[in-house]
Chains A and B, each alone.
Chain A
Amino acid sequence: MTALCLEVNGRVWHVEVEDRTSLLDCLHDALGLCGTHAGCEHGVCGTCTILLDGAPVRACLMLAAQAEGHRITTIEGIAPRPGELSVVQDAFCETHAMQCGYCTPGMVLTAEALLATNPAPSRAEIIAAISGNLCRCTGYGQIVEAIALAAERRRGINIAAGAP
């Protein structure tokens, strides 16, 4: 067992795990952050996507030990305040961009990462961004709409906030 110190969702967690423990298992089982889901566990489906220093990363392909010294964000850390939703989360609800919800945390985090760097993505850019996240329920249509809607709303907020 190894003692690790991980920064997850703005908080420092001390946890003891076996050296071989993946970041996914550490988050889900040891820290109880169950919003990070196991899908294929070989890096294809993107269900376990988290943000590592703001960039989408597959938690199943990383050891927990490798995450020390990095800033980890899981789905539980996306809402601005407890009881609220981020613009992306809210847009996913607005367009019903999910069914079973299993891929949703990974999709939301991937979308957050996209919009953080590209505030006005084209349809093709949205599709490219989520092409590493599989969804078996929706056929992606309402997910693409949610991300476009979130982009528009985020731009709207910025304009409103910046207006004199």
Chain B
Amino acid sequence: MTAPLLRGPFRYVGHKRRLREDRRFVIGAGRYAADLALPGTLHVVPVLSEHPAARILAIDTEAALALPGVRAVLTGAALAAAIDPLMNGAHTPAVRRYPLAVGQVRYVGEWVAAVVADSRAIAEDARERVRVDYEPTPFVLDGEAAMRSDAPLVHPEHGTNVLLDRRFVWGAVDDLFQEAAHRLAYRVAWGRSSTVPLETFAVTARWDEAQETLDVWASIQMPKFPDQIARALRLPGNAVRVHYDVDVGGSYGVKRGIKHAVLAGFLARHLAAPVRLVEDRLENMTGGDMQGPERVFDVELAFDGDARIRAMRMRALDNVGAYAGRSPFQLGKPIGAIVGPYRIEAVAYHALAVVSHKTPEEAVRGFGQAPTNYAIETGIDRVAAFLGLDRIEVRRRNFIRAEQFPYLIPSGTRYDSGDYHGLLDKVLRAAERADIFAERERLRARGLLAGIGIASCLEPSGGNSAFEPLLNEHNRTTTWMESCRVMVDALGAVTATMHTTSAGQAHETLVAVAIAEILEIPPERIRIVRPDSLAALPSNSPVGSRMAIMLGGAAVGAARQLKDKLLAIAAHDLAVPMADLRYREGTISAPDGRALAWLDLVTIAHREFFRMPPEMEPGLAASAVYQVPTGGALPVDGRVQMYPCHSFELHLVLVALDPVLGRPELRRYLIGHDCGQVISPDVVRGMTLGGIAHGIGAALLEEFSYDPATGQPTAVSFMDYLLPSACEVPEIEIVHQTTPSPLTVFGQKGSGESGYLGAAAAIASAVNDALAPLSRRIDRLPIRPAALSDLIAAAKTTTEK
């Protein structure tokens, strides 16, 4: 699609305006999946594995079934006989995954059986009476240990614990390593954290006997969700009706819920009753299958004496847990920004995904980009330290320059636009105003350890699926569309559609603003509805920071078609060439002053066919199906255009820590942010602040830890998995810059992952700057106070000797 790009000034785009979603939330009228109360609903609870690895010898359901109110107990063997396995991302046909374990369990919390009862409380009582005989087997938790030849196999049929092992070489890496003046190598580790939404996963499924359809209401952010349910349950696609008018109580990637929906759907059909599955927090933290990347990076950099980084070798090992859906792809998405904002000429990348006896991973905000950014940023700091140069200066020397865009990186992606030096200068001016550098010295003078952290990184946005064919040659999916339909009724009111759920990203406001901008009518006059999947246009979901670009693009496309139809009607009615007409706020006027108002046009379209241009369809409706702007080419020689647009962010953070307590405090936080043309300022601001808070969690607080001796998870509640509260998040100053994307209608880029993608790297950088006087550093997230105070104590002991 080649439609004209619009550059401001805009009427509605970029202006502060109340969001249409907020009113229902503040009055408690959000409609979440758990709020649905269908008469006769049965409740499911899963029986959870107590072992990290064990054979299931027998399951005795008799005592559970004897409890009044219990309707059924389903085992994995019975379910697997009736359905097909859930979809895999990587090509690993022997790694089968069903909603309930079959024959063996592979992690603590895995669903072994499902109890269905009249209430959740009865189902929980009955769960206690299900007797599972296990024969524990050896387990492996650590990703590197899982690769060793003597490691217990998580999926023996697969023959190895390695799910993905791909090596890419983009450019003359070895030559540049030879040629460069210096080399350094380092290891960093990103801990197993996740997004942990406050709403757990919830689904209600109902088999409609009369229509022979499965109705599903679910808390989801899952591409191809109806297809996946239909395939697993061996139903035609048009027998699954997913309702998208469900508010999702947070997701940030993880609300995939396919095993939940397949289980509930199967039970609903076989018990002929609505079935509801709402996780409690314990179930969510263990068997919810929503943990995030746990990744170890081994990186080598080759660079010259002027700090210009020439080449990089990176090995990324991700411990995906016991099963893998799309999670190995999280090693693929960062290929689209593998050099960050820097002019690194050549890269060798080794991506390894291994299974272990931990809870499976799911997609997490940024889809693997945040850990990769942390690995790259650590390297930039290390180069600066090696050469005794300022960390900001090293970034300045390596940044891609504004005039170099569009910029082709070695792995095949072309960055659309950017002005990294410009934003750096703006942030430094703000830092001067905020007195950050002097404050660090004051803190140090008071005996505290204090450091400044820097991270500059990209947010690839407008998500496509280019990493799928890149990492799995059996997968040739490159279509990744979003759609919108705009209708004007006979009374002149405008209604538009979107075709996925939302989890707080204000998509209804986005669609309304985009259409309002084109039709020049206030967004408040436009209603946004979400047809169910059987009435939906082809769409994916709000993944990959894509909706401002993709849903915004679809809405603009549909609105433009509608406007063109109005112009064609007016041209015919006024007998004036279309090019001579002027459209303004819904009224179309001819050069001679005659005009047709909005309602006149609507009346012609809906009631006065005799005034319509010949061959034109009556009514006013238009729809657009919008493909990712850069298209959808297959990879060539391991290179591919990943996401089309690239937002940029630059964090500057001041951390202070008491050398005895070792608890880092964030004293100042500045972020420079450039996501092109902003559509809704309050939304972008909220995303950025929330992303930083999430990054603070990943850097300092959050980890799904396991007891190495028993394989038991040790962070299963909010008392041991710590989410940042208002006390842990400092006041944050955002410095804006707008570098429009040449690929999108308004120049917008994505912002759904902003803040998160660099916050953890920046905080780690600050902590390491604080530790620098002690000649110590820490390269593993989250940075725990205990680890820090031990490190500081050890450093002091060494010094005192």
Contact = CB atoms under 8 A, between A and B. Distances in A.
Interface residues on chain B, size class: 35 or more
A139 B717 contact: no
A15 to B, nearest CB: 14
Given A100-B249, A131-B727, 9 more contacts: A38-B34, A38-B200, A39-B281, A40-B281, A42-B717, A93-B22, A100-B251, A133-B726, A137-B690
B692 A103 contact: no
Contacts, number: 186
A75 interface: yes
Interface in A15-35: 18, 20-21, 28-29, 32-35
Contact of B719 (A42, A79, A95, A130): A42
Q: Which of A32, A90, A137 has the most CB of B within 10 A?
A: A137
A85 B27 contact: yes
Contact of B504 (A78, A95, A128, A137): A137
B727 A47 contact: no
Interface stretch (B89-97, B393-401, B679-687): B679-687
B717 A99 contact: no
Contact of A98 (B25, B503, B729): B25
Contacts of A136: 195-198, 250, 252, 690, 694, 723
Contacts of A104: 25-26, 28, 30
B364 to A, nearest CB: 12
Q: Which of B27, B31, B719 has the most CB of A within 10 A?
A: B27
A130 B729 CA distance: 12
Q: Which of B35, B247, B506, B690 has the most CB of A within 10 A?
A: B690
B21 A101 contact: yes
A44 B198 contact: no
A134 B723 contact: yes
B755 interface: yes
A139 B197 contact: no
A140 B729 contact: yes
Interface string A126-155: 011011111111111111100000000000
A102 B25 CA distance: 8
Contacts of A76: 27-28
B24 interface: yes
14 contacts: A28-B34, A35-B30, A38-B278, A75-B27, A89-B26, A102-B32, A104-B25, A123-B731, A135-B726, A136-B198, A138-B693, A140-B693, A140-B729, A141-B731
Contacts of B729: 139-141
Interface string B1-37: 0000000000000000011011111111111101101
Contacts of A58: none
Contact of A102 (B249, B278, B505, B731): B249
A136 B253 CA distance: 13
A96 B684 CA distance: 11
A40 B34 contact: no
The list of the 6 closest CB pairs from A to B, nearest first, reads: A35-B28, A101-B25, A100-B504, A99-B504, A102-B249, A75-B28
Contacts of A38: 34, 200, 278
Given A93-B23, A104-B25, A142-B682, A99 B198 contact: no
Q: Which of B682, B686, B727 has the most CB of A within 10 A?
A: B686
Nearest to B251: A100
Nearest to A29: B37
A40 B718 contact: yes
Contacts of B115: none
A91 B717 CA distance: 32
Contacts of A35: 27-30
A160 B26 CA distance: 26
A139 B732 contact: yes
B250 A42 contact: no
A108 B26 CA distance: 7
B383 interface: no
Contacts of A113: none
B280 interface: yes
Given A93-B23, A93-B26, A100 B719 contact: no
Nearest to A142: B686
A98 B198 contact: no
B19 A101 contact: no
Interface of A: 18, 20-21, 28-29, 32-42, 44-45, 47, 74-76, 78-79, 85, 89-90, 92-96, 98-105, 108, 123, 127-128, 130-144
A20 B29 CA distance: 27
B726 A100 contact: no
A78 B195 CA distance: 30
B686 A137 contact: yes
Contacts of B725: 131-132, 134
B301 interface: no
Nearest to A105: B28
A141 B506 contact: no
B418 interface: no
Contacts of A131: 725-727
Contacts of A95: 682
Interface string B234-267: 0000000000000111111000000000000000
Contacts of A36: 28
B633 interface: no
Contact of B686 (A93, A128, A138): A138
Contacts of B508: none
Contacts of B731: 123, 141
Given A35-B29, A138-B690, A42 B249 contact: no
Interface in B26-51: 26-32, 34-35, 37
B691 interface: yes
A98 B195 contact: no
Given A44-B718, A139-B755, A39 B28 contact: no
Nearest to A77: B28
A42 B200 CA distance: 13
A86 B683 CA distance: 22
B385 interface: no
Nearest to B285: A40
B689 A139 contact: yes
B674 interface: no
A38 to B, nearest CB: 7
A36 B37 CA distance: 15
B199 interface: yes
A23 B755 CA distance: 37
Contacts of B196: 136
Contacts of A139: 686, 689-694, 724, 729, 732, 755
A34 B250 contact: no
B26 A37 contact: no
A44 B715 CA distance: 14
A98 B22 contact: yes
B247 A99 contact: no
Contacts of A143: 726
A140 B727 CA distance: 9
A14 B433 CA distance: 60
Contact of A142 (B504, B689, B691, B727): B689
A89 B248 contact: no
Nearest to B696: A139
A135 B23 CA distance: 18
Contacts of A33: 28
Contacts of A137: 250, 504, 686, 690
Interface string B724-742: 1111010110000000000
